[in-house]
Amino acid sequence: MIALVERIRAEGINLGDGILKVDSIINHQLDPGLMLGMGAAFTQCFAGARIDRILTAEISGIAPALMTGIEMNVPVVYARKRKPITMSGPVFLETAPSHTKGGETLLLVSAEFIHAGENILIIDDFLATGKTLLALARIVASAGANLVGVGVIVEKTFEGGRAAVQERFDIPIHALATISSMEGDSIVVS
């Protein structure tokens, strides 16, 4: 996605330790037009798949997942990081390490929103080590649903997440922008 790549080149900042700051695009401020374009791009990437629901992680995955859900006309479910008092009944719970926050992050999804036999597409902001996506995929598996693919805004290929996910799940993975290296002020993105 050319517009996304150009924005990362212009506004992305390498904070070191594999952390890319793109707060002006994804993680703090959102560009609605760019997000709509992402939804259309993900819809095109998964045009041949039958998708019943989209799953993402709170919070940065919500906007691209929602735009994709609008394009595909399917519901979007997001894994919560804290259990609200309104979440009663069975819950799917997984943990994943947070690269930007440090420590483990909880991912909770109410069992009423993912059902056995459904086809689930995961949309998220980053694919780095793959640990968050694997946690979401385990939620899909725990529900007895089918994981049909993963779409991410940015993949950092140098962190090996794609291989980790594909080792466990034989599914298509699509990234709208790919970063092959980040050293000093240099961010190599395509």
Spans of all domains in the chain: 2-189
pLDDT given for residue 76 in this prediction: 98
pLDDT given for residue 179 in this prediction: 97
pLDDT given for residue 99 in this prediction: 66
pLDDT given for residue 80 in this prediction: 94
pLDDT given for residue 27 in this prediction: 84
State the Cα–Cα distance between residues 190 and 143, nearest whole angstrom.
35
pLDDT given for residue 103 in this prediction: 80
pLDDT given for residue 118 in this prediction: 98
Amino acid letter, residue 34: L
What backbone phi and psi angles, to 5 degrees, belong to 120?
A: -115, 135
pLDDT given for residue 41 in this prediction: 98
pLDDT given for residue 184 in this prediction: 83
Contact (CB, 8 A) for 135 and 95: yes
Residues of the chain with pLDDT under 70: 99-102
Query: 2-189: which CATH architecture?
Result: 3-Layer(aba) Sandwich (3.40)
pTM: 0.94
State the Cα–Cα distance between residues 83 and 74, nearest whole angstrom.
24
pLDDT given for residue 98 in this prediction: 74
Print the SS3 string covering the chain.
CHHHHHHHHHHCEEEECCEEECHHHHHCCCCHHHHHHHHHHHHHHCCCCCCCEEEEECCCCHHHHHHHHHHHCCCEEEEECCCCCCCCCCEEEEEEECCCCCCEEEEEEEHHHCCCCCEEEEEEEEECCCHHHHHHHHHHHHCCCEEEEEEEEEEEHHHCHHHHHHHHCCCCEEEEEEEEEEECCEEEEC
- Summarised one tens digit per residue, pLDDT across range 90-128 is 999 999 987 666 688 899 999 999 999 999 999 999 999
